Amino acid sequence: MSPISLLSPTRRELLAATAAAGAIGLLAGTRSVLANGEGISPFSVNFPEEALAELHQRVAATRWPDKETVTDDTQGVRLATIQKLAKHWETEYDWRKMEARLNGLPQFITEIDGLDIHFIHVRSKHENALPVIVTHGWPGSIIEQLKIIEPLTNPTAHGGSPEDAFDVVIPSLPGYGFSGKPTAPGWNPPRIAKAWAVLMQRLGYTKYVAQGGDWGNAVTELMALQEPPGLLGIHTNMAATVPADIAKVLSAGSPAPVSLSPDEKRAYDQLDDFYKNGLGYAIEMNNRPQTLYGIVDSPVGLAAWMLDHDIRSYQMIARVFDGKPEGLSKDDILDNITLYWLTNTAISSARLYWDNAHFPSGGFFDPRGIKIPVAVSAFPDEIYQAPQSWAEKAYPKLIHYNRLDKGGHFAAWEQPVVFTAELRAAFRTLRQ
């Protein structure tokens, strides 16, 4: 069985193939059964050498385009940047380090609403730890949150007190990473939000909080809107706060209203730039995700597609491959891209955009009318840095707001120390 044929079936078929190929699968033993009759099984990762060898061969065989005809980033990911990434991928990068790191964490699979959901679950050694479910986005994965697990679960070793402890649950979104790939439409953010509430109940948590950014914010805010039993409050690092009148002006492509404060004007300008210059990937995935065969067939094509998410993240990553590490390392970036490649989830993850567009749950940045407590960390290089004035209107029970001076779209990944401090502060008043 080839690596590609192994990694493309549904999750159940993939698990059944484990005995023959030994690539990904449940740890030895039977599926554990909880009191409610639902099973949760331990999970481990071990891709065959053939899959890694094929990846290197494909990177080495990349057919390169001509160099861009401009001296800036306006035509997309620059040839020099992606060639530096490819060289590191082919000659220096070692996926096995990430594989070992993942296998050093408690990972599990459980079926919810007919789909296998993969998740990391790390309990704190401290009593009365507050459970938190943390959700990633696109083009991210569970790898985004790995750096915050230890400081959240073991705060006394990372500048905190026992009262700051969390139990951490990090699921892979449907169609992402090691979760199952939906075989029918409809896995949109509201449905995922309901699944996450089932997961937390299944783990025995009667009181918990939730956190997210990007799609993770959409899922987390919809959990808050659904108000499942036990959800005390949420934290977001990509808040949905754009007032309706501002959204209307933005959609018309008009200049910013003169009445905006300096913080509001900066947010408006960031959004205006993103809508005009940064939405190409989302438009394609909203409308025609299945057309993206090239990013399933070419690892370098996949890497370029994932890098071109938002301009400030791309520019930060470009600086990393120019030898100026800040926030992320070269291996950090390739860990995430390689996970998408090895699990063959480029298109299955893209379908979340299509599902959201065809089973809509509100505008991405529109306030949703959340009534439970909300905490906001506003990072300067996010798609937009949510102003406090907008956050106060969007979230009537705003329990924490902080405007940070460093960090971007992948905040937990880029700035784990600051992010950890934000979560501790955000939920302090909700601890029982």
Q: For residue range 386-417, what is the model confidence (pLDDT) as tens digits?
A: 999 999 999 999 999 999 999 999 999 999 99
Which of 126, 309, 400, 409 is the catalytic position?
409
By CB neighbour count within 10 A (0-12 exposed, 13-18 middle, 19+ buried), where does 160 fall? middle
By CB neighbour count within 10 A (0-12 exposed, 13-18 middle, 19+ buried), where does 131 fall? buried
Residue 44: beta bridge partners?
Answer: 25
Is residue 353 flagged as an active site residue?
A: yes
Q: Report the pLDDT value the prediction gives residue 162, as an integer from 0 to 100.
A: 96
Q: For residue range 254-295, what is the model confidence (pLDDT) as tens digits?
A: 999 999 999 999 999 999 999 999 999 999 999 999 999 999
Q: How far apart are CA 12 and CA 302, in angstroms?
A: 25
Q: Angle formed by the axes of helices 330-342 and 299-307, to 10°? A: 120
Which of 116, 214, 310, 381 is the catalytic position?
214
Which of 208, 353, 395, 401 is the catalytic position?
353
Locate the domains of the chain by residue range.
Answer: 3-241+278-430
Q: Report the pLDDT value the prediction gives residue 360, as an integer from 0 to 100.
A: 78
Is the model's pLDDT at 29 over the cut of 90? no
Contact, 167 vs 241, CB < 8 A?
no
Q: How confident is the model at residue 326 (pLDDT cuts 50, 70, 90)?
A: confident
- pTM equals 0.92
| Superfamily of chain region 3-241+278-430 | Alpha/Beta hydrolase fold, catalytic domain (3.40.50.1820)
Q: Report the pLDDT value the prediction gives residue 376, as an integer from 0 to 100.
A: 98
Mean pLDDT of 40-54: 97
Is residue 409 flagged as an active site residue?
A: yes
Is residue 273 flagged as an active site residue?
A: no
Strands 107-112 and 39-45: antiparallel
Q: For residue range 223-254, what is the model confidence (pLDDT) as tens digits?
A: 999 999 999 999 999 999 999 999 999 999 99
